[in-house]
Amino acid sequence: MPPPEFYNLIILTIMPTAKQDPKFSKFHGIDREKIDWHPVIDESKCVGCGLCVTTCGRGVYKFDYAKKKSKVANPDNCMVACITCANLCPMGAISFVKEGDTPREKAQRIVREHPLMPKVKEELEQRKDELNYNPSEK
């Protein structure tokens, strides 16, 4: 029989560490965890400036004060196709794609692979009063 520490390790491994904010749990009707879009930090490049942590309005990042590094804490809170943090990172430590791919190509694949467009059309109709462009309302 394994020692008690073995079971603690298994429990810690299985338990999720991220906290999904319920308001970000869907992207145009698709469960957010089914969409592969989240930042990855290259710790060898991260200088711990914290710009990503303080800029992201969706709580994707937390700051490890002991190691003075940003950490991806809630990856599924990330807005699909948003790369603001990567654009602002002064060291280029944040990425969303594997080498040889681009964020735009990956985002376009997400649109093709998930049935987003019918839901988007439905949302446009449901929110017509709110989203209607009227140049006289400046």
User: What does the pLDDT look like over 34-75, one tens digit per residue?
Assistant: 999 999 999 999 999 999 999 999 999 999 999 999 999 999
User: What does the pLDDT look like over 85-101, one tens digit per residue?
Assistant: 999 999 999 999 998 99
> What is the domain extent for residue 32?
25-128
Q: What CATH number did the domain enclosing 46 receive?
A: 3.30.70.20
Backbone phi, then psi, for 62, in 5-degree steps?
-130, 165
Q: Is 17 left (phi over 0), alpha (psi -120 to 50) or beta?
A: alpha
Whether 58 is covered by a domain: the verdict is yes
Whether 72 is covered by a domain: the verdict is yes
DSSP summary character for residue 79: P
Least Cα distance to 7 among 18, 15, 121 occurs for 15
Q: Global pTM?
A: 0.78
